[in-house]
Amino acid sequence: MSKTFYKRASSPKLLAEFTSHHHHHHHPASRISSTSSKNNNKSFPPNKSIQVWNTTCIVTNFGKDQSLTQCSILINPANPELSGVSQFPYFPRGGPVPKDIPKSMHKDWQPLGYTSSWGGMDVGTGMLYPASVVDGIVHQLGGQQLAAQCKLIHLLRGGCPVGTAVSTSMGGKRLRTAYDSVIHTTPPFYNQEGQEEQEQIDLLGRCYRKSLDLAFQQSSSSAINGDGSSSIRIACPLLGAGARGFPLNVAITTAALECWKWMNNSNRGQNQERERDQVLAFGIPDKSIADMLVGSFEECAEG
């Protein structure tokens, strides 16, 4: 169950930071200072870094309203329809998404553990409530405005097929307080019939690539942060490990390898000026999972 509700007040904690200069440090730092570039006369690729944070909730306790993290863009693991998870009272980890929406929420609807089948499926321990997944919370806070924008994207370009990413900047006030925009990306289901495991891992990797491209391309054109710092900070959960049913070790290894590649790939911009530093900040509610992700990045660092 989501820990969001009773731990809201506790601040995110930075567990580790890795930078493209191949050195990294564990930090008990209370605040991250962003160093502005000293050398504006030559063309430099931006500094890139990856941070791993432990936070109660990446949607409500990690965004630009949080003085420590100040991420302005959120990567959200979505579904191809961009519909959030609101039409289901709960849904199965690892899929499939049920075909029929439960007709009534009174007579037939029973909370988790009190019913043996729902939407024609057996209900087991692998069910998730909307409030326990990032996409559910994003759509709760995004409200009508986000729903309308997602509907439009669905009409114009068929939603967000697996392995692709789309961006929205609309949303209810609570979502806009936390993030300027949300990048939605759809990870594959892990145990889909007729697909090789490697194929699913490749698609999950592509979700990271597409999301990061879109997030940083979008934000490099935006103004310097309100606090005068010049870094672009993107918040990201561990993709694929929730409703999509990837085993934890596979989700973590894929995240680490893909993001390490992103960090060490210095794509130079066209402009002469130094581009803004880019920070990818993972926000993970479960400390043991966050520690595993740090361990995986450390393995990458050791090569």
Buried b / exposed e along 45-69 (16+ C-beta atoms within 10 A): ebbbbbbbbbbbbbbbbbbbebebb
Listed residue (19, 27, 28, 10) closest to 66, CA to CA: 10
Distance in angstroms (rounded) separating the CA atoms of residues 167 and 157: 12
- pLDDT value at 120 more than 50: no
For position 110, what pLDDT does the model report? 43
- Domain spans, the chain: 13-29+42-89+131-302, 95-128
- pLDDT value at 31 more than 80: no
Distance in angstroms (rounded) separating the CA atoms of residues 20 and 2: 33
Q: Do the beta carbons of residue 215 and residue 73 sit within 8 Å?
A: yes
Give the mean model confidence (pLDDT) for residues 181-210: 90
For position 113, what pLDDT does the model report? 39
Angle between helical axes of 287-302 and 248-264 (0-180°, round to 10)? 50
For position 26, what pLDDT does the model report? 54
- pLDDT value at 119 more than 50: no
Q: How confident is the model at residue 44 (pLDDT cuts 50, 70, 90)?
A: low
Q: pLDDT tens digit string along 233-286?
A: 999 999 998 878 899 999 999 999 999 999 998 665 544 445 688 999 999 999
Q: Per the structure block, which two tokens stand in for 66? A: 């949080």
Distance in angstroms (rounded) separating the CA atoms of residues 212 and 105: 39
Query: Looking at domain 13-29+42-89+131-302, which CATH architecture does it have?
Result: 3-Layer(aba) Sandwich (3.40)
Give the mean model confidence (pLDDT) for residues 209-230: 70
- pLDDT value at 297 more than 90: yes
| Secondary structure in 3-state letters for 2-32 | CCCCCCCCCCCEEEEEEECCCCEECCCCCCC
